[in-house]
Each structure stands twice: as C-alpha cells, then as structure tokens.
Amino acid sequence: MTTRKSVVQHLVMVLVMVLPYAYGQGAPIQRDSPRPQRFTTEQLRDAGTGLPTWTGSFVYQGRTYSYVMVGTDPAKGSATTKIPTAIIPLKLTFSDGTVFDASGPLYSYHNASATQAIVASPIFKATDFTAGTVDLGTTQYVDAFQRGNFWSSVSTVAPNYHVLLKPIIGPVQSFTVPASGGHTIQGPLPGTKRGILNGSYIDQNITGPLFNKFQQITPGVFTIFLTYNVFPAGAYGYHDAWGSDPATAKTYTYVSYLDPYTNPIDADISTLAHEVAEWMDDAYINNFTPCGILEVGDPVSDVIFEVKRNGITWHPQDLVFLGYFSYDPSQSVNDWFTFRNTFSQPCQ
C-alpha cells in the first residue's frame, strides 16, 4: 500500500537505533516514517469523510492553504465530538524467539499491559492541562492541545469545545514474524530488546489484513495498532489512511508503547501523543502549508514533558500549533507557537 524511499529509510533506521539513547544532545527525532499524500482537500470536501471533519484555511503571501481536521469548527461554537477508537493489541514473535506482546505484562509494571497503560494515560483519561497561567481544562491531552490550538474561539464562543477519543479494546492479534519481515535489536537496558518491522510486512500482513478481518471497524473509527517495543522500519511510528476512497478510507496509527526507557524521548506515550495529534490535525495526510505537510508533532519530536496522573508520571511530547505553519499565532493560546511554548518563531 505504501511506497517508501530506501535511502531515507536506511538513514532513519540508523537514527531509530541510536537516538533513543541520545536525549539532551539536541538531535532531531524521526518519530514517524514518510507516508504519501492520500487525497486532496477538494476530494475530501466533495466526497466527504468517514470521520466527522471540518475544513478551514489561512492565507500566507497571497496563497490560500486549506486544511481538514477531525471534529467540528471551533469558530462555530461549542460541540463535543467523540471518536470511537479501536485499540488492536499486537503480539509479535520474531525469528530469534523474542516475543513482544502489547497485551502482556510490562517490564516496569508487571501488573499492567501496554494496552492497559495507554488507556490509563492522559491520551484517554482526563487530566488538568495548562498553558502558562491559562487553564485549558481537565481533558485528554490531544483535546487540550486542540483547545489551545484554537483558543481565540474556545475562550470566547466555544468554551465547551472538545474532540475526544473513546477507547474500544479489541482482541490481541498474534503474528510470527519471519526474518525477512523484521529483526530485534538491543534494548535501552541490559536484558531488554526492541523489535524492528519492515514497512512492507506491516502493510501486507498486519494493517490491511486486520481491516479486512474486522469489518466492524468503520471509516468513522480511529484505529490504533498497538505494539510493545516494536518500531516500524524508518521511525518510531506513523499514521495513515487505508483505502482509495476518501469517503470510506479508514484512518489509523501504527505505534508502540515504549518501556523501559533511559530518557523521556524513548518513553511510554511519547510517540502515541505525537501520532494521535497528527491524526487529529491531518488524518488524511492532505494538509499542505508553507512549510510542508501539517504534521504537528515533527518539529518538536524531542521535546518531552512530564504529566502526573494517579501517581504515575507520563511523558507526552510537545506539539506545534497551526500558527507555527501559518505564520500567525493569534488564534492560539497566549499567541504561542507550541503547546509548551518551545519556539518563539514560526517555521523557517
């Protein structure tokens, strides 16, 4: 389904194996692998989408840039959009006998699985988020980000604006990965391992077949194919749309829960936060800006912060607002370019 550039893939493969242990050195992190544009904004507008979406635009240097995002237009008032989110745990057995099971016990928390962990995390559970002195509300992280993204509307005409994920956990799906499909590498701590899956193996053996298997996953459902400590070749994860018709395409992310870790970049929900936010703001990979695709996680992939909830510390990453790409932060909270105010300037 997907074409990848071999040179980029080889380069990023090296980054994946090195960067998890280089936190604090200022190196950029390749969180997700390049995915081709699926549809145009015009196709999505004319054909509609399986998800509830809205279309907005901005003008920069005389050119109009349109975008399609999940939810409703915050400028039109308060509305709560709830997206059914299918979590499909994967159990992967590699040719060297190593098993990575998203439904099995974690290294760090033996009484929980990766699936249970993400459902208990701020990705799904309401947590109080602030931006400086501004309280964005007690809600899911990516919803808090989106509220901050369009704060000029949320703080005036749409105080109860939300786009929320409703988790639905599916049965674990088991795969025996041949040597041609992937391999393992040394993990961040002695006695631990990480897996690498070839992109073609994921497309041909996991995502496509599982969409065919689970017909109850409709285009209105967001799907998380969840692994435990297994990267796709090329990056930490990615999001994409499965199907050739914008009205029936099924949006999803392939992502891994990461544990244990030696630095926050390589920790728990850092990549999941990245992919969920990029799905919400560019689910169909069609939003072009003056600085390329509107991928809100890429510019700050190495900026991790802590969120404490119920005695557990989670590590989501910072995210950039639309104003970073449009060169106009006036609609975002505090006129900031990112959720954590990492940048003082827009994209260059």
Q: Is the pLDDT of residue 18 over 80?
A: no
Query: What is the per-residue pLDDT across 159-209, written as a single tens digit (0 to 9) for each?
Result: 999 999 999 999 999 999 999 999 999 999 999 999 999 989 999 999 999
Measured in Å, how far apart are the chain's first and last C-alpha atoms? 32
Confidence class for position 34, pLDDT limits 50, 70, 90: low
How far is residue 301 CA from its own chain's centroid? 11
329 three-class SS: helix
pTM: 0.90
pLDDT, residue 58, reads 97
Instruction: Report residue 75 as tokens.
Output: 């400028």
pLDDT, residue 31, reads 65
**Beta strand spans in 132-192 (E):** 134-139, 162-169, 173-176, 182-186
pLDDT, residue 21, reads 30
Query: What is the per-residue pLDDT across 332-344, written as a single tens digit (0 to 9) for each?
Result: 999 999 999 999 9
Neighbours of 85 (CB within 10 A): 22
Phi-psi region of 137 (alpha: psi -120 to 50; beta: other; left: phi over 0): left
Confidence class for position 271, pLDDT limits 50, 70, 90: very high
Give mean pLDDT, residues 133-140: 98
Mean pLDDT score across all residues of the chain = 89
Instruction: Kindly list the domain boundaries of the chain, sorted by start residue.
Output: 6-335
Confidence class for position 33, pLDDT limits 50, 70, 90: low
Confidence class for position 157, pLDDT limits 50, 70, 90: very high
Share of the chain above pLDDT 90, in %: 79
275: part of which helix (H) or strand (E)? helix 270-282
Contact call for residues 300 and 338 (beta carbons, < 8 A): yes
Between CA 69 and CA 74 the distance in angstroms is 11
For β-strands 222-228 and 80-93, DSSP reports them as: parallel
The residues with which 314 forms a beta bridge, in sequence order, are 307
Q: Is the pLDDT of residue 149 over 60?
A: yes
63: part of which helix (H) or strand (E)? strand 63-70
Query: What is the per-residue pLDDT across 215-257, written as a single tens digit (0 to 9) for each?
Result: 999 999 999 999 999 999 888 999 999 998 888 999 999 999 9
Query: What is the per-residue pLDDT across 49-93, written as a single tens digit (0 to 9) for each?
Result: 899 999 999 999 999 999 999 999 999 999 999 999 999 999 999
Between CA 256 and CA 252 the distance in angstroms is 13
Q: Provide the residue type at 99 as one letter.
A: V
Q: Is the pLDDT of residue 3 over 70?
A: no
Q: Is the pLDDT of residue 1 over 50?
A: no
Task: For 214, list phi and psi in degrees, rounded to 5.
Answer: -100, 85
pLDDT, residue 8, reads 27
Between CA 1 and CA 348 the distance in angstroms is 32
Between CA 254 and CA 233 the distance in angstroms is 11
